[in-house]
Structure 1
């Protein structure tokens, strides 16, 4: 069955069909070329914020532990930069 016949049967203009087809193919080319940028969803944003917060807390804990270990190695309790 030809495109024109299908368009007639479905009641759409052939120009509209070809426009949709072109848009579809262009989007596919962009996707294959690595253009995958999109808007993050709200759950993704919440999850990433939670993860960032947990990582900041881990860095703070490790920084404090590192300072305490340095002080204990110095033996005098002084804070060396």
Structure 2
């Protein structure tokens, strides 16, 4: 038995919200595995601000 969502009037997302999510998905930065490791290590060392 599935729980009902709080927004049962509209089962699909509004088009504007879907468009924004699609744009964010397409423009998301892609990092190589080495870059990801470097970013994590820099964060652990405290060289760069994580919120940057």
Higher relative contact order by CA 8 Å / sep ≥ 6: 1 or 2?
A: 2
Q: TM-score, normalised by structure 2?
A: 0.37
More helix by share: 1
Q: TM-score, normalised by structure 1?
A: 0.27
